[in-house]
Chains A and B, each alone.
Chain A
Amino acid sequence: MIKAILIFNNHGKPRLSKFYEHYNEDIEQQIIRETFHLVSKRDENVCNFLEGGMLIGGSDYKLIYRHYATLYFVFCVDSSESELGILDLIQVFVETLDKCFENVCELDLIFHVDKVHHILAEMVMGGMVLETNMNEIITQVDTQNKMEKSEVCAGRYCRSTCSCCISCKEHEPPGNAQKHQHWRHKHKSAKFTFLQIVAARS
């Protein structure tokens, strides 16, 4: 069984945490910190498995992680899971995120925490692997998102939201736009490294 799925960045900032077993809130934070501590110390060219720390349950538990550009994806599993199997599951997860967000980067995870959770829910349910096929996961998420779109259009907010959208763009000062372009550029480059690794690993 999968006990927890954690995503944090190179500085240990949590980007997603999902626990399939109940821990106290403080313990959860400690687990994230401890896991980051364990994982971040490791070089690039070492194995992707770690024995779980004290908090998460000792030697019966394993941390299986992958490092992509700025993010660590860590799965904490018990002995009933196959190590290499989980390693590839992480890959499936990341590739799915990449498809859903069209070139995923850390920012996507920050601003769409809920979406990432929804994608994850289609993959892992209550600690059990539900689906490993990327296309199937995307189909499921898409059907849900379709409802979202149809609802937004059908909803009475539709018009006002559109106008709001336009007004925002209009009021945007030119300087800001430039800055934004600059940001966009950097942002893209960050994506690039990220993807490179995706490609390299797969």
Chain B
Amino acid sequence: MSDVVEKTLTALPSLLSLDSQPGSAKLSTHSKLGNLIRGITELTSKHEEEKLIQRELSSIKEQVSSPSTTMRQMKELMVRSIYCEMLGYEASFSYIHAIKLAQQGNVLEKRVGYLAVSLFLNESHELLLLLVNTVLKDLQSTNLIEVCMALTVVSQMFPKDMIPAILPLVEEKLNHSKEIIRRKAVLALYKFYLIAPNQVQHIHNKFRKALCDKDPGVMSASLHIFLQLIQENSEAYKDLTASFVTILKQVVAGKLPMDFNYHCVPAPWLQIHLLRILSLLGKNDQSTSEIMYEILDESLQRAEMNHNITYAILYECVRCIYTIHPKSDLLEKAAKCIGNFVMSPRINLKYLGLKALTYVVQQDPKLVLQHQMTIIECLDHPDLIIKRETLELLFRITNAQNVTVIVEKMLDFLRVSKDDHTTIDLVGKVAELAEKYAPDNEWFIETMNTVFSVGGDMMQPDIPNSFLKLLLEGFDSVEEDKKLRLFAVNSYVSLLQGEPNKLPQRFLQVICWVLGEYSHLSKDVEPDVLLRLLVKLLDTKSCSNETKTWVLMAMTKLCSGGAALSVAHEVSEMYGSSMDTVLRQRVQELQHLSQDAQLQTRVLPQCASHKPVEVDSSLSFLDGFVSEALAAGAAPYKPPHQRQEELSRSKALSLEPYGLSLPISMSSCSVTDRQSPTLLSMSSGLSGDSTELSHKGSSTTLKLDGVKRVWGREGYLAQKEPAEEAAQVEASSPLQSSSQKADEDSSHSQTPTQTPDSEHEKQQLASSLFVGLASQSSGSVGGKSEQTSQRFRRKARNQDKPLSSSEHLTNLLVSPSGSADNLLLDSNSSSDLISSPEQTHVHSLDLTAANGTCDAEAELPDRDVKGLKSPLSRDASVPAADFTPHEDPDRRKDLCLTSHLPAALSGLSHSEVTLVCSDQSLDLSACHVQKDESIEFVVFIKNSSDSAAHRVQVQINCEELEVSCVCDSTAEELKSNSVTVCQYFLTVKRPSVSFELVGMVYYQKPAGSLQTAQFSYKLPLTSFIRPLAVSTEEYGTMWLAYSHDTKQNLPLMSGEDEPLTATLNVLKTKLQLHVVEIIGKEGIVACCLRPDQPCLVHCRVHAGMLAVWLRSPVPDLPDCLLYHCQRALQEH
């Protein structure tokens, strides 16, 4: 605290009387707060500060709880608590008083109260429920300031399940005469949309109205919502493109009032927002893009370079132009703009220019070539952020020819960088590049060594995993593999002979594994010498227990007779009594295996081949143990979700807003039926679940918004394709110009006499960095080196794929002691170590070996599919895309397939038979049949090829549904052009808005290879809904018994009948609900999924809306049903 300003704070109280307001209420506030602050600034240590604040807090605590404290004093106390909380000290005792202040104070005290609440609490805080009534009251207040405060606090945080209570009031505010209220209401509704999209579904039209609001402020607030909505589903809002363009046109032309100008630029933030929206709308859509070309051109021209904010607009323009369907003259202008950014002396602009380059490099690699010298300069920029951004750009243009230079630059940066986050990110990138483009073994191993030593223990665990997997699985030629492994072994031995205690733990683990597995390949390394090295490693203090287990595993593999025995003995003496059970376990293994050479060769065969390892995932070997435990009175196992449910059930409080202020006046009802502890919080959590589906989607799209992810797991080529396409679409002949460019480059570097030395260096760097880029842009495949890299790349991707599919398995590899699964295996294997060597083989084959083989299995289906499609797209989603049904043949087949319906089902109504998947030999179609009480799913398998298929087997899975087989689903032989039918009985396990059945078909062709095909089938919840015929009395008793509920206002239908009857009839016909009774303005409706899964609906006409209240004993069901009710009424 040496700051001058802070030191002089000692004289504060006197100052304060002069400073700012002369009000003495202020003075008393500040003298106390001032005392506190002065006290803090005088302190020298953190410890003293802690003591002082604790003292302060206890004095605040005393005062807030004293009944004589006035609201005014309370306000002052709150400010002090806010200050303490800001410094990181908890003042939870004041939370309730903050709520009280918001409730009872006058406008100003209320303001502080609300402020304190919004700083102290969060959405899930239980005290927040006490605020609901205050918010309701203030929303209805005639005082605009109170309404504003309520809206502000609502948008900061509001309990999700309480939204229905205030939603109508907030909606009302959209029509308020004051612009500021409308604007805040729009943002509050947006917030509601973010946390509970289902609940505001019905007001999408109002959002559109807000967009047309006469006040530009309200309109710009509504853009937040549209940006989000369009991100989620751009198709639905294409019709608004013209409106957005018109708005932008008016803004750019300066039609808005002068108030909206900022540094003479008309409403810049509004422009930025609009440009973002336009880029989303125009993405991959030529006709929509065409609407906006003109305004984009105008925006580019209007934004003169004079102020920061115009650059912001320009940057958005450029991004928009590169995102939407390309137009050559716009692209040209945008490219010029990017050039200006990159060349700018202002660092912020340079940064954005690099970002823009990174963004467009896929479409327009030429642009990077144009700015290569600037990029080279940026590599040596003093600002690390600029450097990083440059590396990011280089990462995207890496190919087999420039990989060594780029990786070297990255490693240079890594050695300087201190920031963990950057390190982790960059290490991952280097590893990815190394695997993909490594020119030779030595380089690869050395680069990975640097990665491991620089990345340390922070890096992503999948980097060492995939590295080991790469070593294990090897490449195409055995000779190559051997060389690579040998080189790795030699390099690691020399590392261990150096200073191993300086290496990070992860690296040591990798070294241990490699040495254990492959040291036999090297003739120069004596096993005894190696063992000594490992023992030395074991003795280093810095070596963690986890690493020690790896060392021991390596030793177990290496120990074979002779001197090794004594080493093993020595080590087991040392660690046999270790506190770490895993360590002890490994020592035991080492000891036993080193003594029994025969057992060792059986358990740990050298060159572990890829034999499939059977893993008993059901843990059936524990059955005996479990039944014993059960017999001894242990509680049966419950899956985690069940435990959670029970836990929350026992904890749940009755948390309901006061009935009176609810828009739905069912207070009497809610009082009587809330005797048992209700599960409001439960049901709200569940309603969250149901909404989460769409929410999750939104969060991922949001992430993708930034910069195109060019490097997926699938690698580079798949993405390169569209880029090339785009390049070809461009009118400016890319082939010629780029080759010219390349010529220019080479001529540049060939005339070094004129350029000074440093310049020459840069030129050389440029030519090495940007080599291959020109050829890439013209689409021509490079020469020899390109081809070799091709081979490397394919290998790398081969092993890339299974990694993702079996990540959980590979994780075992990294933490042998960490995971519980593994411990289970360990303890098991230790007891069986001697008695059943067979099983030991499975476990101690070393987990990596197990991994490799499992992965090999997982890869099988993939390989089969490969034949069907181009090798370029080995994306998991592609098979599904490949099998998309074709409209016409589908119709044709429908007729003939229907005749194959089982006789028992033929009379019943069934959905259209749709083709779900087809490959060279099988066509799979499916439909569902509605029975009175159930639903059956029928799969038709038709052999469309000339040869028979054998052992056709279908497996169907769905998380939310129980699928049971009605008739045998396997067919020994399916002759050519014949059809077999599988029937499944579906019941709902967990309700969901719609269900997706995922199925696999396995069959064998005469040739013998096992073929698989995947398909999916979607069913809405409505197919499961059946009317439930109950009497009003029965309904009454059932209503009271159910705990999961949800409420919502729905629109009423207008028709010839009474609105209520008309609406209920729509629901009845569309959703097959049973209308139990209608009395006046109320109606009760019932339905069920199964007789034991009912759902009751209580409807009531209120203020022109239909207030519905759904209840069910099944969690989630009310929410899902409500969703379909909304849909049904909307569609009507």
Cα of A137 to Cα of B90 in the assembled complex, Å: 32
Question: Beyond A114-B112, A133-B260, is A177–B16 a contact (Cβ under 8 Å)?
Answer: no
Cα–Cα distance between A65 and B104 once the two chains are bound (Å)? 38
The reply to whether A125 and B184 contact each other, CB–CB distance below 8 Å, is yes
B1132 interface contact, C-beta 8 A: no
Q: Which residues of B contact A111 (CB under 8 A)?
A: 16, 19, 30, 33-34, 37
Instruction: Tell me the complex Cα distance, A160–B187, Å.
Output: 43
| A38 interface hit (Cβ, 8 Å) | yes
- CB pair B33–A186 under 8 Å, yes or no, is no
Given A114-B112, A165-B24, A184-B15, A16:B86 Cβ within 8 A:
yes
- Whether B4 pairs with A190 at a CB distance below 8 angstroms is yes
Contacts of A107 in B (CB 8 A): 5, 9, 19
CB distance B703 to A176 under 8 Å?
A: no
Contacts A84-B348, A144-B145, A190-B4; A179 near B156 (Cβ below 8 A) = no
Q: How many angstroms between the C-alpha atoms of A162 and B3 in the bound complex?
A: 34
Residue among A59, A79, A168, A176 making CB contact with B421, cutoff 8 Å:
A59
B111 and A118 form a contact (CB under 8 A):
yes
A53 to B423 Cα, complex, angstroms: 11
Residue of B nearest to A33 (CB): B88
* Residue of chain A at shortest CB distance from B424: A54
**Contact partners of A180 in chain B: CB under 8 A:** 11, 14-15, 18
CB distance from A24 to the nearest CB of B (A): 9
Q: Which secondary structure characterizes the binding site on chain B?
A: helix
Choose from B24, B33, B259, B385 the contact partner of A135 (Cβ within 8 Å): B259
Residues of B within 8 A of A168 (CB): 17, 24, 27
Whether B385 pairs with A46 at a CB distance below 8 angstroms is yes
Which residues of chain B are within 8 angstroms of A49 by Cβ–Cβ distance? 348, 351, 385
Find the residue from A9, A89, A108, A180 having the highest chain B CB count within 10 A.
A180
Q: A125, A147, A165, A177: which contacts B22 (Cβ < 8 A)? A: A165
Q: Nearest Cβ in chain B — how far from A52, in angstroms?
A: 8
Can you list, as one digit per residue, whether each of B330-364 has a CB less than 8 Å from chain A (1) or not (0)? 00000000000000000110111000000000000
CB distance from A152 to the nearest CB of B (A): 5
Question: A106: nearest residue on chain B (CB-CB)?
Answer: B5
A42, A82, A117, A128: which has the most chain B beta carbons within 10 Å? A82
Q: How far is the CA of A22 from the CA of B157 in the complex (A)?
A: 9
- How many whole Å from A189's CB to the nearest CB in chain B? 9
Q: Is the CB of A85 within 8 A of B272?
A: yes
Contact check: which of B33, B87, B383 meets A14 at CB < 8 Å?
B87
Q: Which one, B1, B269, B347, contacts A129 given CB within 8 A?
A: B269
Q: Are A59 and B425 in contact (CB under 8 A)?
A: yes
Complex interface: chain A residues within 8 A of B421 (CB): 51-54, 58-59
Measured CA separation A58–B17 after assembly (Å) = 46
Closest chain A residue to B15 by CB distance?
Answer: A180
A147 and B107 contact, CB distance less than 8 A? yes
Q: How far is the CB of B196 from chain A (nearest CB, A)?
A: 14
**A187 contacts B312, C-beta separation under 8 Å:** no
Residues 1-44 of chain B, each 1 if its beta carbon lies under 8 Å from chain A, else 0: 10111001101001111111011110110100110010000000
A196 CB–B CB distance under 8 Å: no
The answer, among A50, A117, A132, A172, for a CB contact under 8 Å with B115, is A117
Q: Point out the residues of chain A lying under 8 angstroms from B106, CB to CB.
A: 151
CB distance from A163 to the nearest CB of B (A): 8
> Once the chains bind, are B419 and A152 in contact (CB under 8 Å)?
no
**A110 proximity list for chain B (CB < 8 A):** 37
Asked whether A164 is an interface residue with its Cβ less than 8 Å from the other chain, the reply is yes
Given contacts A113-B86, A114-B82, A126-B156, contact A88 B268 (CB under 8 A): yes
| Chain A residues, Cβ within 8 Å of B272 | 82, 85
Confirm or deny: A138 has a beta carbon within 8 angstroms of a beta carbon on chain B.
no
Knowing A49-B348, A101-B20, A125-B184, the reply to whether A54 touches B420 (Cβ < 8 A) is yes
Task: Say whether A169 contacts B385, CB under 8 Å.
Answer: no
* Residues B706 and A79 in contact, CB atoms below 8 Å apart: yes
A157 closest partner in B (C-beta): B25
CB pair A70–B5 under 8 Å, yes or no, is yes
B811 within 8 A of A: no
Knowing A111-B30, A125-B184, A135-B259 are in contact, say whether A84-B37 is a contact too (CB < 8 A). no
A11 contacts B123, C-beta separation under 8 Å: no
The yes or no answer to B1011 lying at the interface (CB within 8 A) is no
Contact status B3-A11, CB under 8 Å: yes
Bound-state Cα–Cα, A105 to B19, Å: 12
Q: Which residue of A lies closest to B112 (CB)?
A: A114
In the complex, which residue of chain A has the Cβ closest to the Cβ of B179?
A136
Report A153 CB to chain B, min CB distance, Å: 9
Q: Interface code A169-193, partner B: CB below 8 Å = 1, 0 otherwise?
A: 1001000110110111011001000
> Could you tell me if A14 and B86 are in contact, using CB atoms closer than 8 angstroms?
yes
- Interface status of B1002 (Cβ within 8 A of chain A): no
Please measure, in the bound complex, the distance between the C-alpha atom of A103 and the C-alpha atom of B227, giving whole angstroms. 37
A169: chain B residues at CB < 8 Å are 17
CB pair B308–A51 under 8 Å, yes or no, is no
B630 surroundings in chain A (CB, below 8 A): none
Instruction: Given the known inter-chain contacts A82-B315, A128-B190, please indicate yes or no for A190 contacting B350, CB distance below 8 A.
Output: no
- Which residues from chain A contact B259 at a C-beta distance below 8 Å? 133, 135-136
Q: Are B11 and A51 in contact (CB under 8 A)?
A: no
In chain B between 110 and 142, which residues have their CB closer than 8 angstroms to a CB of chain A?
A: 111-112, 115, 119, 122-124
- Answer whether A187 and B108 are a contact pair too, CB < 8 Å, given A125-B152, A140-B180: no
Q: Would you mind naming 6 contact pairs between A and B with Cβ atoms under 8 Å apart?
A: A45-B347, A46-B385, A46-B386, A51-B422, A128-B187, A180-B18
15 further A-B contacts with Cβ under 8 Å, apart from A53-B421, A79-B702, are: A47-B348, A49-B351, A51-B388, A82-B269, A83-B315, A84-B311, A88-B262, A117-B115, A128-B224, A132-B268, A161-B25, A161-B27, A168-B27, A182-B8, A186-B8
* The 6 residue pairs across chains A and B that have the minimum distance between CB atoms: A126-B155, A84-B312, A79-B706, A161-B24, A22-B122, A46-B383
